[in-house]
Every structure is written in structure tokens, then in C-alpha cells.
Amino acid sequence: MNKIVILFCAVFLTELVNAAPSAPDSVFLFSYTSGAHNHSVGLQFAWSQNGEDWHLIGNDFGFVRSDYGRWGSEKKMYDPFLYRDRQAVWRCFWTLNDHDNVFAQASSNDLIQWGRQYYPETTLGKTVTVLAVRRETNNQYAIDYKDSAGEYFVASTSDFKTYNFKKSPIVADSRKEVSINGAVLRGQIHRVAWSEVNALLQHVEIVQARHKLYRENSSMYGTLFPDLKTVTGSISLEPNRRKEISDLLVGVFFEDINYAADGGLYAELIQNRDFEYSLSDREGRDKSWNAMHSWSSTGGVNVIIDTTHYIHINNKHHALVNVGSAGALRNTGFDGIVLRKGQTYEFSCFSKLMNGKVVQANVKLVRPNGEVLATQKLSVSTVKWKQQSLVLKATADEDKASFEIEFTTPGVVALDMISVFPQNTFKGRKNGLRADLANVIADLHPRFIRFPGGCVAHGDGVHNIYHWKNTIGPLEARKPQRNLWGYHQTAGLGYLEYFQFCEDVGAEPVPVVAAGVPCQNSVGGQQGGIPESEMDSYVQDILDLIEFANGDGKTTWGKKRIALGHPKPFNLKYIGIGNEDLITDVFEARFVKIHEAVKRKYPDITVIGTVGPFYQGTDYVEGWKLADQLRLEMVDEHYYESPGWFIYNQDFYDRYDRSKSKVYLGEYASHLPGRPNNLETALSEAIYLTALERNGDVVTMASYAPLLAKEGHTQWNPDMIYFNNQSVTTTPGYEVQRMFSVHGGNEYISSNTVIDHRDNAVMKRIGTSVVYDRKTGDVIIKVVNLLPVQCDLKINLNELLMGEVPAKLITLTGEPGEKNLRPQEKDIRLSRDRVYAFPPYSLSVIRYRTSVVNK
């Protein structure tokens, strides 16, 4: 059943049931949580006519779920208490955990769509259970609660946001026990209109029917399409119905997740070069993750980590190396160091004598068996920190080399920022990017690059927010920090390098900064926010970022950029404020402040707001409300969904109001169980991309996420590009992105696609779009066939082709589970009304030059 049919059924059923003369006026509604899924199921309902025989509303169906704390370990709801206030607004209170002095509250008019969640701090009582809510005066409510120590309190409020607390006498808990399907559940009983319960039942039905559609995948196609034979149809181009679309549609989302930066795109070969690794990077879970990680010493060399003689306060840890007799300090790189015969590697380090005696050493790149593949002499002779560098040339290939400083004379030296960098970086830049990886990204021809995240941008707690100023300037002065994905960020790949990369690949830079709040899933509780007293300085940092990117030599930050070797401005046009944040009052206050300041000083910069991590739900609704209120130019949407979702939601943006904010679809990807990136996921993204092209007047940019993943260090799947130290593997998803990026256009040409088949599941698996690229004068037709059978389409080019022309046909096809595929390109002759065969499971691009598109 398709979505339209479901909606039709739902409407029909509503009419039927509402109109049914036999329906009761009112029934009992039981509100409770069963504690299913480790207490994450949220608020559940059952209904009854007589208060004895109960019917579940959905099976384990949560109408509002807690969003407090970390994924996995938190986001739990205990003891919900539901109250209907004077304005008939439902207020739900619940207990969160046994360690934070907070409880939760959210409200709803219909028990289906819930507003922002509030987590007020209780100044009295711990692990609070709400027992009763009373209306004291017109607008004043008293919330009776008890705590885990059995003490009773009352909290008064008029807005359900701020509360006054005091002790109170014992209050009885009005919850009742009811038995449903053999389980005894504790909750409240309310008397409500049947229409309210009916609406809940219909909601569950629609959600479940949709989920059934969204779960469809190619493993079910035998049953879904048992007798399907070649599907036929036609595409008729309508050259007179054209519209301008974004020419920035396909770009990339870069985040330091899965070792994408350190150990990945950032070409540094020494791991923990600054001795700043710390147990806290991995929340204490890995005892070996300390300042000596990846380092060891041999022979008569003894190393301790010191923080007293630092080169820069941002980088306090350094090695104090005491050489008694011959021995070495060794680093194993990121899973070994890859060397290529004849290639040169720049060694550099800061060193300082600690006891006045000159120390001699050899720096070496060695094979696991000890064979030396490159060596140079190093002498430590200064009592002040001094940076030295040497060039090492590899005499052979090796995938698992390590780096050594072999000491040949005794003494005590301090060492820090020990680096080995390939000289062959992307575009030969110093402190640059790993060439093979950067080239694969450049081959995508991304129209924009978003950086530095993702969650990395807003960070794990206020102290982990990514501050761009900490990432520019001399490497030893940059501020390394914990990466919320469980490792370490050196900040070696910082804002200057990001901007430079954008420039090098011809992509618009799209930096995303925190909206003054960290990730809602932060360690130790809720979102929090930069204190009000520090917000002015934070806002100034964001203004300074724009000045750094665009300012001239007369501006403070423009001057800094010039001093860092980039005289030309980067021509920044977009800035993202926030990353899929929980839309709370804390968020809103900070976002509004930043937005106002940026627009006041830089009216031409497009501020991109954020509307939560999903395509629906509270943050999406609240984020859009705020966007409407502030008349934001653009919002950032995120969703990771199943292939079925992408197949059945091709009209998602067709429904968007053209007068509202534009959309940057900043993170999306198709997820199958097991999280592969295969042809099936890629084609579902392709079908969605045809819809994005059609909606290119609303959707300005879109980026698949995440971009990179290092084998063996992957926190998130699927990703677009996988790599290890030696090689880079692209995915079908990469090929799809590339085909849409390279074959993008700036005008959308309407077309009428007719599939000669009545089954919606068949029709939805054929996607088409036609764009015109003014720069080349090419018309580009894309056809996605996600069916297990061939699709023969007659392409009616109408006035867009007189006679016959040469064209290119590029096809990506294979079995749905295939992961290693490349598109095939061939020359074809294109004529006006011919039938073309599109293979099962394929994306095809037909591209030809025309002189008949007039402006």
C-alpha cells in the first residue's frame, strides 16, 4: 500500500468512525510507560470503555520520548505524569534518572505533536517523581512531588518553565494499576473524548503503515514484484516549463569522525606528535590513551612526560628524554607509517637541552625488521626551544614503517611537536592534505564543503565546542582537544587549511559553528549553553571568523589571514549556526543573538539555521517555527533513513512553501540493516537526488554524510569513502554523488514521466530529472531504475532536439548488494522519440549539447 492510499484510508476511517452513531462520546485513557527498551519507549496509552478492559494504542508505541542526556545510556522516561491544564494543554512530567537534580516537562495540544522539552532543576529533592498537579489560582499551578529519600515537596509555576520549590506534607500518588494483556502497568486514568483516542489510534496506524513501506528493501523484491516483467513508459520534456535551480546542489560534508582528519586527510604521519593525548579523550576507557600513546623508548633512553617547560600554554605536554646510553624514542604512526620509494618526508621537531650537554641523534624511518629506509643527523644544542627540520628520502616502499630518534650521545633533552610530513601533499601545500584522499574528494567536484562537522562543531559539552581561533596559526600554539567521537583532534587541520582546501577544489566554504550550545547528547546531561556573560565574546568570535575569511589588510582578522600566507579573501558567503540542535529556550536565546549580530554586520552573509536531527518531530517543527519567525534565509536539515523512506518521500520538498527559508540538506544517507554503502542505498539516494534537482529552487545544497572513514577506526557507517593508510575505496554512494555533481545544471526542465504500470511500488522506483547546464549548453537527463527489471522509456525530447545528435550515456548498474562498482560511459546517438532501455538497478545519465534552449 502506498502513502497516498494509507492517508486516504486514514481519512476515510476517521470519517467512518467519527460518524459512527455507535461510537461513545468519551472513554478512559490510560497514560503510562512500560519501561520497554530500557525505559526509552516514552509515554504510552491504552483506552477502555469501562475502565476494566483495556486496549493498547500501538504496541510499544511512544508518543513522546525523553531527549535528556546521552544516546544509548540515557534518554529514559520513568513515572510519567499527565495533566491537562486550564487551557486544555496536556502537560507531561517525568523522572529522568537517579543522578541529576532535574525532571522533565513537555506539552501538547493533542497528545501527538509535542513541544519543546524542559528540564527544570529542582533545588529541593533528588530523583523526583511527580504525584499530582493542582491549579492554585488562574495561572498558578502546584506540582506535588516526592524524591528518592521519601520526602515531599511542591513546585509552583505559572509558565511550566520556572519553578519555586518548598517542602510539603505527604501527598498521595494518584496513579493506578491496570492489567493489560497480562501485564500490570502503573499509570493514570483520564476521561477523554472518543475523538481524541480515535486520533491517537489513527496516528499509530499511519505511522505503522508508513514504517512498513519504509522497511521495504531489495531482499523483499521477490515477494513485492513476483511477476514483474520489463516496465515501459515515457518521459516527455516540457522545454517551456523551466526554472532556475541552485548550481551548488551537490557538495561535501567534512567532519573529523572515523579518523577523517588526524590519521586521515591531514597528512601528518606521527601519531600524538604533541604528546597531548589524554585519558579523557576516550573518557578514561582506554588506559593506553595517554601522553605516551604511540611512543616508546628503547635501550638506555628513559622518557617522562613533563608540562613545566612548554613551548606554548595550549600545548603543555612534552617529552623529557634522558639518554643514559644508546637507545631511541620511537613512534608507530597511525597503524604504521607508509613510505614510498623516492618520496621525501619532512621531519621537524622542537627541542631544547635540559642539562647543557649537546646531544647527538639520528632521525630514521625504519622497517619493522629494523632496516633503515631513511636517516639524517640531528643535533640538540640550544637551551631554548628551537625548531629544526630535515628531509628524509625513502629508499624503498614500506607500509608499516616506524619513526625513530636514535640517540648517540648521553644527555637530557626536551622534545615536542615531533612531525613527519610527506612533501607530496595535495597541491604540494605545507601542513597539507593526504594527496590520494584529497584527490578523490576533489574528483567529486563538490560545489561546497561544509566543515568541521557535524557534532564535532558543537562538541560534547560546552568545553568541547569547536572554536575556530584555536585552530589557526603556528601548530604548536593551536589548541588540541578531545574529539567527541572518542579520540584526539590536533587541530593541525584547522580553519585556514579548510578554507584553503575549498579554494583548491573550487568549492564554496560552508563553516558551521556552534549556536552557543553543545550537542544535546553531551556527556553529563543536557545541552547547557555558553553562559550569557560569555556570549558577547562568543558572538565576536563568529564575526571575527567572517572577517578572517573576507577582510582586507586593514581589518584585524583579515590582516591575520594575510600574515598566515593568504592575501586573497576566501569570499565566504555562508555560515551555519548550530548543528541539528535540540531547539530549546537556551538554544533560541543564543541563536537569535548570533543571527542578529551576523546579519547586522554582514547582511550579505547567508546564515543557515538548524531544524534538528530528523525530518519530523519537535526539533524540526520548532526549528522551522524559529526560522519563519526570524525569516532565516536557509535552514540545515538532517536525516538518515531507509531506502524505502527515500523512495516514498520523493515529494518531500514538492510540499515546501517557496516563500520560506531555503534548505541546505546538510546530512543525509540511506541506511539499510547492517549499514552497508551498496548499490541499493546509492540508488535510493539517486532517486531522491532527482527529486532534489526538481526542487533545486528550494534546496540550495545537499551533502551526503559522513564523507570519510578509516578502516579499523570507524565510529559510523555507512560512509562515502573508505580508506586505510595505503589506499582509498570509493562506494556506489560516492559514484552517485559524483554523477549528480559532475552532471548538475542550473535550470530544471519540467518533464512528464508516465510509467505504464498501476502499482505505486513500481512507479516510485523510477525517478527522472532533466536539467540544463548553461555553462556548457548541455541538456542532462537522469533516470534511476530501482526495480529488479529493465525499464524501457521513450524519451520525447520535443523541441529540445531536432534530428539526431551524439550524446554520452553514463550508467551505474549491478546487483543491489554490490559495493564495488564504477559507472560505464559510452557514446550514443540520441534522437527525438526513441525508446531507451534502462537496466535493472541502475542510474543513467544522458548528456547532449543543444543549441535550442533559449533564455
Which residues carry out catalysis? 580
Question: Is residue 493 within the footprint of ligand AHR (CB under 6 A)?
Answer: no
Contact between 477 and 315 under an 8 Å Cβ cutoff? The reply is yes
Kindly tell me the burial class for residue 264, based on how many C-beta atoms sit within 10 Å of its own C-beta (0-12, 13-18, 19 or more): buried
Options 64-72, 298-306, 447-455, 778-786: segment touching ligand AHR (CB under 6 A):
447-455
Non-local (6+) Cβ contacts of 193 within 8 A are 25, 26
Contact between 274 and 313 under an 8 Å Cβ cutoff? The reply is no
Report helix, strand or coil for 742.
helix
Can you state the percent helix, strand and coil of the chain, rounding each to 5? 20, 35, 40
Of the candidates 472, 483, 497, which has an alpha carbon nearest to the alpha carbon of residue 421?
497
Q: How far is the CB of 286 from ligand AHR (least distance, A)?
A: 21
For ligand AHR, the closer CB: 144 or 667: 667
- Does the N-terminal peptide bond of residue 452 adopt cis geometry, omega within 30 degrees of 0? yes
Question: How many angstroms separate the CA atoms of 196 and 186, rounded?
Answer: 21
For ligand AHR, the closer CB: 42 or 459: 459
Options 105-113, 449-457, 807-815, 825-833: segment touching ligand AHR (CB under 6 A):
449-457
Question: Is residue 454 within the footprint of ligand AHR (CB under 6 A)?
Answer: yes
Strand order in the sheet with 78-84: 78-84, 90-95, 103-108
Q: Which of 260, 354, 433, 705: binder of ligand AHR (CB under 6 A)?
A: 705
Q: Could you please report the per-residue DSSP string of 85-127?
A: -TTS-EEEEEE--SSSSBEEEEEESSSSSB---B-PBPSS-SS
Question: Is residue 256 within the footprint of ligand AHR (CB under 6 A)?
Answer: no
Q: How far is the CB of 706 from ligand AHR (least distance, A)?
A: 4
Residue holding cell 526539533?
A: 619
Report helix, strand or coil for 606.
strand
Question: Is residue 720 within the footprint of ligand AHR (CB under 6 A)?
Answer: no
Q: How far is the CB of 821 from ligand AHR (least distance, A)?
A: 23
Contact between 105 and 91 under an 8 Å Cβ cutoff? The reply is yes
Q: For the beta carbon of residue 701, count every other beta carbon within 10 angstroms.
A: 27
Contact between 423 and 345 under an 8 Å Cβ cutoff? The reply is yes
Q: Which of 62, 125, 558, 706: binder of ligand AHR (CB under 6 A)?
A: 706
Question: Is residue 508 within the footprint of ligand AHR (CB under 6 A)?
Answer: no
Contact between 348 and 391 under an 8 Å Cβ cutoff? The reply is no
Non-local (6+) Cβ contacts of 227 within 8 A are none
For ligand AHR, the closer CB: 57 or 455: 455
Options 215-223, 371-379, 452-460, 614-622: segment touching ligand AHR (CB under 6 A):
452-460
Options 450-458, 615-623, 657-665, 796-804: segment touching ligand AHR (CB under 6 A):
450-458
Q: How far is the CB of 455 from ligand AHR (least distance, A)?
A: 4
Q: How far is the CB of 716 from ligand AHR (least distance, A)?
A: 5
For ligand AHR, the closer CB: 255 or 268: 255
Question: Is residue 281 within the footprint of ligand AHR (CB under 6 A)?
Answer: no
What are phi and psi for residue 531, nearest 5 degrees? Answer: -55, 145
Question: Is residue 252 within the footprint of ligand AHR (CB under 6 A)?
Answer: no
Joined grid coordinates for residue 280: 579523557
Q: For the beta carbon of residue 835, count every other beta carbon within 10 angstroms.
A: 11
Q: How far is the CB of 579 from ligand AHR (least distance, A)?
A: 5
DSSP assignment letter at 553: T
For ligand AHR, the closer CB: 442 or 720: 720
Please give the size of the binding site for ligand AHR, defined by CB under 6 A: 12
Degrees (nearest 5) of the Cα angle 311, 314, 316? 55
Question: Is residue 255 within the footprint of ligand AHR (CB under 6 A)?
Answer: yes
Q: Which residue is nearest to ligand AHR (CB)?
A: 454
Question: Is residue 455 within the footprint of ligand AHR (CB under 6 A)?
Answer: yes
What is the bridge-based pairing of β-strands 606-610 and 176-180? unpaired
Question: How many angstroms separate the CA atoms of 224 and 201, rounded?
Answer: 27
Q: How far is the CB of 157 from ligand AHR (least distance, A)?
A: 33
Question: How many angstroms separate the CA atoms of 458 and 462, rounded?
Answer: 8
Contact between 112 and 203 under an 8 Å Cβ cutoff? The reply is yes
Contact between 68 and 77 under an 8 Å Cβ cutoff? The reply is no
Contact between 830 and 804 under an 8 Å Cβ cutoff? The reply is yes
Options 75-83, 205-213, 451-459, 464-472: segment touching ligand AHR (CB under 6 A):
451-459
Question: Is residue 614 within the footprint of ligand AHR (CB under 6 A)?
Answer: no
Q: Which of 96, 106, 154, 257: binder of ligand AHR (CB under 6 A)?
A: 257
Identity of residue 818? E
Report helix, strand or coil for 612.
coil
Give the containing element (helix H, strand E) for 689. helix 679-694
Question: Is residue 622 within the footprint of ligand AHR (CB under 6 A)?
Answer: no
Q: How far is the CB of 272 from ligand AHR (least distance, A)?
A: 23
Report helix, strand or coil for 238.
strand
Q: How far is the CB of 619 from ligand AHR (least distance, A)?
A: 12
Give the containing element (helix H, strand E) for 148. none
Question: How many angstroms separate the CA atoms of 767 and 757, rounded?
Answer: 14
Question: Is residue 737 within the footprint of ligand AHR (CB under 6 A)?
Answer: no
Question: Is residue 231 within the footprint of ligand AHR (CB under 6 A)?
Answer: no
Question: Is residue 511 within the footprint of ligand AHR (CB under 6 A)?
Answer: no
Positions in 8-67 near ligand AHR (CB under 6 A): none
Q: How far is the CB of 260 from ligand AHR (least distance, A)?
A: 10
Q: Which of 35, 716, 834, 853: binder of ligand AHR (CB under 6 A)?
A: 716
For ligand AHR, the closer CB: 520 or 769: 520
Positions in 578-607 near ligand AHR (CB under 6 A): 579-580
Options 297-305, 453-461, 563-571, 604-612: segment touching ligand AHR (CB under 6 A):
453-461
For ligand AHR, the closer CB: 81 or 722: 722
Options 365-373, 448-456, 533-541, 797-805: segment touching ligand AHR (CB under 6 A):
448-456
Q: How far is the CB of 677 from ligand AHR (least distance, A)?
A: 13
For ligand AHR, the closer CB: 80 or 613: 613
Strand order in the sheet with 778-785: 824-831, 804-813, 842-849, 778-785, 766-773, 747-755, 231-244, 791-796, 833-838
Report helix, strand or coil for 268.
coil
Q: How far is the CB of 93 from ligand AHR (least distance, A)?
A: 28
Q: Which of 264, 333, 613, 623: binder of ligand AHR (CB under 6 A)?
A: 613
For ligand AHR, the closer CB: 260 or 632: 260
For ligand AHR, the closer CB: 327 or 676: 676
For ligand AHR, the closer CB: 124 or 437: 437
What stretches of 687-832 adopt beta strand conformation (E)?
A: 699-704, 708-710, 721-723, 728-730, 747-755, 766-773, 778-785, 791-796, 804-813, 824-831
What are phi and psi for residue 282, nearest 5 degrees? Answer: -115, 30
Q: How far is the CB of 257 from ligand AHR (least distance, A)?
A: 6
Q: Which of 404, 667, 735, 773: binder of ligand AHR (CB under 6 A)?
A: 667
Q: Which of 453, 511, 558, 814: binder of ligand AHR (CB under 6 A)?
A: 453
For ligand AHR, the closer CB: 522 or 769: 522
For ligand AHR, the closer CB: 257 or 800: 257
Q: Where are the alpha helices (DSSP H) in 143-261?
A: 194-214, 221-224
Question: Is residue 693 within the footprint of ligand AHR (CB under 6 A)?
Answer: no
Joined grid coordinates for residue 790: 529493465
- Site residues for ligand AHR per CB under 6 A: 255, 257, 453-455, 579-580, 613, 667, 705-706, 716
